[in-house]
Amino acid sequence: MRKSGPPKGLISYLVLELLDERPRYGYELLGEITEISGGHWEPSYGSVYPILYKFEEGGVAERVERADEPDRKYFALTDAGREELAEKRRAIGGEAKDFGDVVLGFYHLYAALATDGRFEVDDADADWAFSERYSAWIVEQMIRHHERDFGEFERIDASPEEFYAREDGAAADAAEPDSAETEPADDAEEPSSGAADD
């Protein structure tokens, strides 16, 4: 269970990946990140530029002058930036569950505002509503994106507790070395004591 918003370091990781692709300026980075999120999330203007300036101060990124756009502040990744990116990739790689908790947590809140009698949200004049119809649309979009990126959607019949237990067990099994590879076989031939080293 997460006790805050999106995993820490997400924006700086995305900025590093995009700068590794090619030099970019701040507003361009905002647009790219918004596009990656399907247009559903955009970091604030005030979060991307401080990251760029911090990267510049730390030698992670450097300004790039462009003759065709002299007034625009482009940034490119340095060698130190690529090392930073490698570390960030490992850090973000360990936060998949946190990402899942953010998605599930906000969906549960959405559904609660639609169905829990303790909440009396007045959405009569809003473009959207907390309702079964819009909930179904959200789920439909999730399934469509899953099938676009991963193939045919298959239901998983497991509660969160069952799923986590099963996945944690599978991860532990994968981490254990294969005993057949680590223990010598009983009938392995002894090396010849008189053999010369190659």
Q: How far apart are CA 130 and CA 189, in angstroms?
A: 71
Q: Mutual orientation of helices 10-21 and 45-57 as an angle, nearest 10°?
A: 70
- pTM for this predicted structure: 0.77
The pairing of beta strand 74-77 with beta strand 61-64: antiparallel
Q: How far apart are CA 128 and CA 136, in angstroms?
A: 13
- Which token pair is 81? 């930036």
> In the chain, helix, strand, coil percent, each to 5?
55, 5, 40
195 vs 61, more confident? 61
For residue 83, pLDDT over 70 is answered with: yes
Q: Which fold has domain 10-93?
A: Arc Repressor Mutant, subunit A (1.10.10)
pLDDT number for residue 8: 80
How sure is the predictor about 188, in pLDDT bands with cuts at 50, 70 and 90? Answer: very low
Tens-digit pLDDT profile for residues 96-142: 988 998 999 999 999 999 999 999 999 889 999 999 999 999 999 99
Which residue, 70, 79, 76, is CA-closest to 29?
76
Domain ranges of the chain: 10-93, 96-175
* Mean pLDDT value across residues 43-62: 93
156 vs 194, more confident? 156
For residue 14, pLDDT over 90 is answered with: yes
Q: How far from 59 is each of 53, 62, 78, 120, 194, CA to CA, in Å?
A: 10, 7, 7, 51, 58
Q: How far apart are CA 19 and CA 85, in angstroms?
A: 10
pLDDT number for residue 160: 85
Residue pair 41/34 in contact by the 8 Å Cβ criterion: yes
Tens-digit pLDDT profile for residues 16-26: 999 999 999 99
Residue pair 66/74 in contact by the 8 Å Cβ criterion: yes
Task: Tell me the torsion sign for CA atoms 141, 146, 151, 155.
Answer: negative
For residue 190, pLDDT over 70 is answered with: no
CB atoms closer than 10 angstroms to residue 85: 19
